[in-house]
Chain A
């Protein structure tokens, strides 16, 4: 299959390891990945802060960039982020409609129908749950609100993780509780967000896992920021990064925290 990658703005700039891992998994499975260069962002940040007018040009750029999927230029679009996939599927068209851009809304809906979050693409479109990964470490998984409630990815990420060779997957207490990120919520309501984060971090630490994973780097940036502040041993890794890791090519994180212990975990 020819699959177009939407890297997401935050991963492109801050956490390239997630889209890189996504490329690795898909290429390993024999697919062709394409990176449409005009892409930037899905508009979620503007939508969720109420700047709907300002979101429109951003959405327009996204929709135009990925519209070739409608002419079968690619078979599908993959995006390694539950919240961006949620914005694409549930908010872009609404925002365009509100701005009176009905044509754009229609195209956005059509493009959204061909856009899949990573675990959806692997299981629903490509029909694989065992992607041939090897990751012999204790991992706990945070399902993230938008993957869980906006996209309804259900247990797909767990199915993928359970199929990873050597993994010790442990349940996260109160997994369904929000980590407190919420985009600008973390800055606008910093105190409340911090209180939510503190509980999430201590739940993660209670599992004894070395790695906390999620399908979204925005939540992981938040959680990782809290763990790093506590000088915790637990590190954050995107679902794609775990799935990309193999015996021959153990995952080398390119994430920008002090990663010495992560590299040690990943290569041990």
Chain B
């Protein structure tokens, strides 16, 4: 089977009723950016998982409060956001030149740069680099880019075991699960579930281990330490790459990333091409924006920076794979490209009321939440009418909380509308009639003219009849039945505003809309 990224069917979907699968687990899919059902259906399933909803609600509320506090402490927060946004806009406007500048500088310092057009190419490059070392085990520090390309599964197919070292990522990996949050991939799990996963899947868990956070962390530490000390090859992501110095940056909380970045002999970094920033000094801005927005901290505990190879210190064999995988396609869209400003802080997820209720798996992509809803469809492109990713731009009430939280000021609501229009226009171009299309055309016809509108208002008598004496409708026919699933609809009034106006302001009335009083009761 060939998929959208050109990856042959690599990953096997697990059987649905495997007793070893915990509730709330998303089986490893074929396509990391397009799995499962469309959003409304996936959300319906997710909403049934009350445990997950509690875990999520609790976790996001905690992060939100922390974030609000540290953002409140920064008097120049809005200026920082403006600067971060402008830096990213400048970056995207000059991306090809900046990438070349980065390549020159990274190479000059002893690193090797590889270019990958798509996930397949990226996976092949990484696999070849590992094979060349003769190793069969690698350690990894959390990286969205490798999640996006499905690297772990590809490596497994080629007899290479990749061990995640970020605690949350480890929980997801051991659970044979998919991440549900950008920053806290196991946010859908609580302590009891984590203990359960460790006991089932981790070798040598301590006897009598409880679900106390410290005990769980100690067990993971024991497990990981062996991996760190044995690993000759590490794979990392990168938060930023400075073009003017060729410097890469990883920002993290646990220090496991630093172990990966310093202990092994070979270090392979996989990074999306949009992670470039023009100058090393720009880090000043992003290092203030990122930790506050993501973990609600003034500064993250570990920031690692490396520029090529330092002889005799750290990895001597240093590579970077620059991944496109749909990014230049997004860049070509004047409006949509703003999604590439994203620094993956996850602030938009933590404030999103939709995400908070359905969790990350419902988005069917390793990029969930508001950013996922605008990024995923752009990276994958549409495969047509029934593409589940076409439902993502509609997975929002457009409440705007994400835009307010975004440290680089991505106007997510406007991008959602833009991408909705793209879905609608595609259907139109392909002459695919839809129910919504018909309804919207009819509404447009009626609402473009006040006489037609006034006439349509009179037609609401049917609704009033449906409401009867009780004054409201508790059950509407399809397709409006979604409304009456949880809420009633009031009966339309006997007199519209227009009619009231004519009655009470006769000197001002217009014969065209007069005497519209509804007398058919």
Cβ < 8 Å to B, chain A residues 166-208: 176-178, 180-198
Cβ < 8 Å to A, chain B residues 480-521: 480, 482-483, 485-493, 495-498, 500-501, 505, 508, 510, 512-513
CB of B397 within 8 A of CB of A51, answer: no
CB of B397 within 8 A of CB of A181, answer: yes
CB of B22 closer than 8 Å to a CB of A: no
CB of A121 closer than 8 Å to a CB of B: no
CB of A54 closer than 8 Å to a CB of B: yes
CB of B440 within 8 A of CB of A54, answer: yes
Which residues of A does B touch, CB under 8 Å?
A: 7, 9, 11-17, 19-20, 23, 34-35, 37-41, 43, 45-55, 57-58, 60-61, 65, 91, 94, 98, 145-146, 148-150, 176-178, 180-198, 221-222, 224-226, 228-229, 254-259
CB of A187 within 8 A of CB of B480, answer: yes
Distance from B183 Cβ to chain A, minimum over Cβ atoms (Å): 21
- With contacts A16-B497, A47-B417 taken as known, whether A145 is within 8 angstroms of B444 at the C-beta atoms is no
| In the complex, chain A residues whose CB is within 8 Å of the CB of B400 | 145-146, 148-150
Q: Which stretch, B37-45, B118-126, B146-154, touches the partner chain A? A: B37-45
| In the complex, chain B residues whose CB is within 8 Å of the CB of A195 | 47, 357-358
CB of B443 closer than 8 Å to a CB of A: yes
Which of B357, B472, B510 is close to A256, meaning CB atoms less than 8 Å apart? B472
Q: What 1/0 mask marks residues of chain B from 38 to 81 whose CB sits below 8 Å from any chain A CB? A: 01100110010000000000000000000000000000000000
9 CB contacts below 8 A, A to B, read A14-B460, A35-B508, A50-B417, A50-B422, A54-B444, A186-B483, A190-B483, A191-B485, A195-B47
CB of B395 closer than 8 Å to a CB of A: yes
The 3 closest A-B pairs by CB, nearest first: A182-B397, A225-B487, A50-B420
Residue of A nearest to B41 (CB): A191
Distance from B250 Cβ to chain A, minimum over Cβ atoms (Å): 33
Distance from B41 Cβ to chain A, minimum over Cβ atoms (Å): 9
CB of B479 within 8 A of CB of A50, answer: no
| In the complex, chain B residues whose CB is within 8 Å of the CB of A178 | 353, 397, 399, 401
CB of A222 within 8 A of CB of B423, answer: no
| In the complex, chain B residues whose CB is within 8 Å of the CB of A19 | 497
Given A16-B493, A39-B450, A228-B472, 10 new contacts (CB under 8 A):
A13-B456, A13-B497, A50-B394, A50-B420, A51-B437, A57-B444, A58-B447, A146-B400, A192-B357, A196-B354
CB of B44 within 8 A of CB of A191, answer: yes
Distance from A117 Cβ to chain B, minimum over Cβ atoms (Å): 15
Residue of B nearest to A221 (CB): B490
Q: How far is the CA of A89 from the CA of B508 in the complex (A)?
A: 28
CB of B423 within 8 A of CB of A50, answer: yes
Which of A229, A254, A255, A259 is close to B487, meaning CB atoms less than 8 Å apart? A229
CB of B449 closer than 8 Å to a CB of A: yes
| In the complex, chain A residues whose CB is within 8 Å of the CB of B441 | 54
CB of B353 within 8 A of CB of A196, answer: yes
Secondary structure class of chain A's binding surface, majority of residues: helix
Which of B448, B470, B508 is close to A40, meaning CB atoms less than 8 Å apart? B448
CB of B115 closer than 8 Å to a CB of A: no
CB of B40 within 8 A of CB of A188, answer: yes
| In the complex, chain A residues whose CB is within 8 Å of the CB of B479 | 187
CB of B482 within 8 A of CB of A190, answer: yes
| In the complex, chain A residues whose CB is within 8 Å of the CB of B399 | 145, 149, 178, 182
Secondary structure class of chain B's binding surface, majority of residues: helix
Which of A35, A190, A224 is close to B486, meaning CB atoms less than 8 Å apart? A190
Q: How far is the CA of A33 from the CA of B225 in the complex (A)?
A: 75
Interface centre among B393, B496, B510 (most CB of A within 10 A): B496
Q: How far is the CA of A224 from the CA of B471 in the complex (A)?
A: 13
Distance from B441 Cβ to chain A, minimum over Cβ atoms (Å): 6
CB of A20 within 8 A of CB of B500, answer: yes
Which of B396, B460, B487 is close to A13, meaning CB atoms less than 8 Å apart? B460
CB of B482 within 8 A of CB of A258, answer: no
Residue of A nearest to B402 (CB): A149
| In the complex, chain B residues whose CB is within 8 Å of the CB of A35 | 498, 501, 505, 508
CB of B472 within 8 A of CB of A50, answer: no
| In the complex, chain A residues whose CB is within 8 Å of the CB of B353 | 177-178, 180, 196
CB of A229 within 8 A of CB of B501, answer: no
| In the complex, chain A residues whose CB is within 8 Å of the CB of B492 | 13-14, 256
Distance from A94 Cβ to chain B, minimum over Cβ atoms (Å): 8
CB of A228 within 8 A of CB of B417, answer: no
Which of B395, B414, B485, B498 is close to A190, meaning CB atoms less than 8 Å apart? B485
Q: How far is the CA of A48 from the CA of B394 in the complex (A)?
A: 9
Distance from A128 Cβ to chain B, minimum over Cβ atoms (Å): 23
Which of A11, A14, A58, A258 is close to B470, meaning CB atoms less than 8 Å apart? A258
CB of B444 within 8 A of CB of A180, answer: no
| In the complex, chain A residues whose CB is within 8 Å of the CB of B495 | 16, 254
CB of A37 within 8 A of CB of B490, answer: no
Cβ < 8 Å to A, chain B residues 344-400: 353-354, 357-358, 393-400
CB of B398 within 8 A of CB of A48, answer: yes
CB of A9 within 8 A of CB of B447, answer: yes
Q: How far is the CA of A47 from the CA of B414 in the complex (A)?
A: 10
- With contacts A149-B403, A180-B397, A256-B490 taken as known, whether A49 is within 8 angstroms of B440 at the C-beta atoms is yes
Q: What 1/0 mask marks residues of chain B from 413 to 452 whose CB sits below 8 Å from any chain A CB? A: 0100101111111001000000011001101101111100
- With contacts A181-B397, A182-B396 taken as known, whether A41 is within 8 angstroms of B447 at the C-beta atoms is yes
- With contacts A178-B397, A182-B397 taken as known, whether A255 is within 8 angstroms of B450 at the C-beta atoms is no
| In the complex, chain A residues whose CB is within 8 Å of the CB of B440 | 46, 49, 51, 54
Distance from A257 Cβ to chain B, minimum over Cβ atoms (Å): 5
CB of B493 within 8 A of CB of A37, answer: no
Residue of A nearest to B497 (CB): A16
CB of A256 within 8 A of CB of B43, answer: no
CB of B474 closer than 8 Å to a CB of A: yes
Distance from B489 Cβ to chain A, minimum over Cβ atoms (Å): 6
Q: How far is the CA of A254 from the CA of B491 in the complex (A)?
A: 11
CB of B222 closer than 8 Å to a CB of A: no
| In the complex, chain B residues whose CB is within 8 Å of the CB of A40 | 446-450, 453
| In the complex, chain A residues whose CB is within 8 Å of the CB of B482 | 186-188, 190, 193
CB of B404 closer than 8 Å to a CB of A: yes
Distance from A93 Cβ to chain B, minimum over Cβ atoms (Å): 12
Q: How far is the CA of A148 from the CA of B403 in the complex (A)?
A: 12
Distance from B298 Cβ to chain A, minimum over Cβ atoms (Å): 24
